[in-house]
Amino acid sequence: MSELAHSPLILAISSRALFDLDASHEVYEQQGLAAYQQYQISHEDKPLAPGEAFPLVNKLLALNTKLGGERRVEVILLSRNSADTGLRVFNSIQHHGLDISRAAFCGGESPYRYINAFGSHLFLSTHADDVRNALQNGVAAATLVSNQSNTNDDETLRFAFDGDAVLFSDEAERIYKQEGLDAFAASERAAAHEPLSGGPFKAFLAALQHLQAAFPIDRSPIRTALVTARSAPAHERVIRTLRAWNIRLDESIFLGGLEKGEFLRSFRADVFFDDQEIHCQSASSHVATGHVPHGIANE
């Protein structure tokens, strides 16, 4: 426990998630790889603007400063660029003052194979296939959905999670999808004292809670929330599952099918993770959102 608590929380992130590379990607799509390479080299001294995940990364890295410089958070850059074209990305990291020193530039190939080697707890990308491969290799991962929401300038870092197929397995959701709401409710009542199996984000939530433990509980700069479509009586199994895992969430919101967006905005989430694309699209108009392509909803 003590060894885990002092291990850094490691976020692996793609260059397109960290910075706005839309203009560069358009060159690649319209003119090809050689033109893209030349474009990046000719613009390597022009800093890239922040991308979807930049505010989240900035807040995460700021936690090290709050802990007196102790390196409890590390961010790894994983990129399909080559080191040559990736120089602009590293120059942009320096320009924005981000404490990121480790990277893998994969020259057009998928970088997901380095996720476990770096010991990553979470991988964020705009490339859905890389995210799926990361999940299959046992790492929490999400595809960032473009959003037009305002950046949350609150210093507190706020993570929000869906339950089934994200924090928990999709075992209960399968019953709902295949047999309907009444069967789901009956099954959850019958299994109320049986903890759910862990989903792809269980280990990340545990690592995040160990990071939270470095701060006084009443002054923590990190808050977590479960935002789920479940309602009573299906809430009981969720509560007992988290208790069995010895994992604490700061807030739990059981919506009974209501739209999640307004509640996520009220929570002021820096990022929300959900397995269903329809929920992600709705949430992304309010907060930065990551689609977790896992479970029956994505088969």
Query: So which residues are the catalytic ones?
Result: 162
Q: Which residue has the tokens 């479940």?
A: 230
In 3D space, the residue among 79, 60, 85, 71 whose CA is nearest the CA of residue 15 turns out to be 79
Q: Residue 206: helix, strand or coil by DSSP? A: helix
Which residues contact residue 244 at a Cβ distance below 8 angstroms, ignoring those fewer than 6 apart? 195
* Long-range contacts (CB closer than 8 Å, 24 or more residues apart) made by 26-35: 33/108
Residue 146 and residue 128 in contact, taking contact as beta carbons nearer than 8 Å: no
How does DSSP classify residue 270? Answer: S
CB contact burial 28-46 (16+ within 10 A = b; e otherwise): beeeeeeebbebbeeebee
Please report, in angstroms and rounded to a whole number, the separation of the first and last CA atoms in the chain: 36
Q: Residue 271: helix, strand or coil by DSSP? A: strand
148 CB neighbour count, 10 Å cutoff: 7
Alpha helices in the chain (DSSP H): 2-5, 15-18, 22-31, 33-42, 54-66, 83-95, 128-136, 171-179, 181-190, 202-212, 235-245, 261-267, 277-283
Q: Please tell me the distance from the alpha carbon of residue 37 to that of residue 275, in angstroms, as a whole number.
A: 35
> What backbone phi and psi angles, to 5 degrees, belong to 127?
-105, 110
